[in-house]
Amino acid sequence: MGDADIIPIGTRGRPGRGSGGNRPSAPARDLAGGRAGARRTPPPTAGARPAEPGASAVGRPPTTTAERGPLAGVPVGDWLNAFQQAAVELFGDDAEAQLARFLAFLRRRLTGDYVIDEFGFDAEITERFFIAALRPIAQRWFRLEVRGIDNVPAEGGALVVSNHSGTVPVDGLMTMVAVHDHAGRSLRPLGADLVFRLPVVSALARKSGTTLACNDDAERLLRNGELVGVWPEGFKGIGKPFAERYKLQRFGRGGFVSAALRTGVPIVPLSVVGAEEIYPLVGNLPSLARLLGVPYIPITPTFPLLGPLGLVPLPSKWVMEFGEPIRTDEYDEGAADDPMLVFNLTDQVRETIQQSLYRLLVDRGGAFG
């Protein structure tokens, strides 16, 4: 085996590729093209022009590498038409209009031709992304039902006061969706200072219209004709045990009533049923919460037992009811400085929401029905 010649099968090592000859075979000469041994170009006929230098045998210039590319030879118009037809197939007949709107939006964002108010609220981003992302959750997951939306003023300043629950403040986000889709207005929530200490949440909150819960900012928004949302229970409301669900906690010192009295805007009570069941709070880790600087570390039937899966809210049935507005423009100018009047109005708002919660619970029936 060591002295044997290694010869490729079928060729015997000769140029004839198995023919046994010293010259390439006819099939090999056909494959060779312009190489040695290729077929001769037939002589030109009488009157024919001789081929120019570098031209091929059929009278065409040689093909370049660029012309052999996958996009070579296709007009730009044909590509645009193909993309347009593909968009129609994917997104329907309105695809062209949607694409035009998206490109206009993209141009505005790149050129800086958009408006952000003094509080950092970006109405366009909120509507196109935040509300659009939350809407399917409200409609399909929580099956949100909205009642009494006519009680929300179509224009001018107003203060929406709501109960707070759910371990995680998802009810505030769902209220923003409900007001936007049913009343056609942007709700400006008042958030706790913890919201603005969190790195990513702070920026998102500012962009979506959330402002620090203080009287000065609230009054400025109300005087500017904005619809402001407040949850007076605060962390006491969202962090209460599941056994105390739908029992309102203390409404603070009535600062929201003072802001409404000073600006003369109506107070719209809002009752929300359904948020208590999304993360049933059955326990807490107070020592760890103090170490991390947060109000509480929740323990629910699914968290932390199921890990990240436990962060998915349970699909409870939600009902929101906006109550009849409570007018404040009929009081005297110094009414906001009267502690008894502020206390009485605060208690009136709280009692209105509490009674509505009891009634809505009966109307709703089962939490997951």
| Domains observed in the chain | 123-278+316-364 (3.40.1130.10), 280-312 (no CATH)
What pLDDT score does 56 carry? 46
CB atoms within 10 A of CB 123: 15
- Mark residue 27 as left, alpha or beta (left: phi above 0; alpha: psi -120 to 50; beta: remaining): alpha
- What residues are paired with 188 via a beta bridge? 228
Burial track 98-111 (b if 16+ CB lie within 10 A, e otherwise):
eeeeeeeeeeeeee
Residue entry with tokens 């001769």: 40
What pLDDT score does 26 carry? 62
What pLDDT score does 30 carry? 58
Phi/psi at 217 (5° precision):
-65, -40
What pLDDT score does 220 carry? 96
- What residues are paired with 190 via a beta bridge? 211
Which secondary-structure segment (H or E) carries 238? helix 235-238
What pLDDT score does 28 carry? 53
Would you write out the chain's pLDDT as a tens digit for each of its 369 residues? Answer: 555 555 455 555 455 444 555 565 565 555 555 444 444 555 555 555 555 554 444 455 554 545 545 555 667 677 667 766 776 666 666 767 777 877 887 888 888 888 899 999 999 999 999 999 999 999 999 999 999 999 999 999 999 999 999 999 999 999 999 999 999 999 999 999 999 998 999 999 999 999 999 999 999 999 999 999 999 999 899 999 999 999 999 998 889 999 999 999 999 999 999 999 999 999 988 888 888 888 888 899 999 889 889 999 999 999 999 999 999 999 998 999 999 999 999 999 999 999 999 999 999 999 997
- Judge whether 229 and 218 are in contact, CB under 8 Å: no
Phi/psi at 153 (5° precision):
-60, 140
Q: What is the DSSP string of 97-144?
A: HHHHHHHHHHHHHHHT-----TT---HHHIIIIIIHHHHHIIIIIS--
Q: What is the DSSP string of 55-102?
A: --TTS-PPPPTGGGSTTTT--HHHHHHHHHHHHHHHH-TTHHHHHHHH
Angstrom distance (rounded) from CA 287 to CA 347: 33
- What residues are paired with 161 via a beta bridge? 230, 269
What pLDDT score does 65 carry? 46
Angstrom distance (rounded) from CA 77 to CA 83: 10
What pLDDT score does 232 carry? 95
- Judge whether 367 and 317 are in contact, CB under 8 Å: yes
Q: How far is CA 60 from CA 43, 50, 51, 57, in A?
A: 17, 12, 9, 7
> Under 8 Å CB-to-CB from 361, ≥6 apart: which residues?
246, 273
What pLDDT score does 108 carry? 83
Distance, C-alpha 256 to centroid of its chain: 30
Tokens of 200: 């990513």
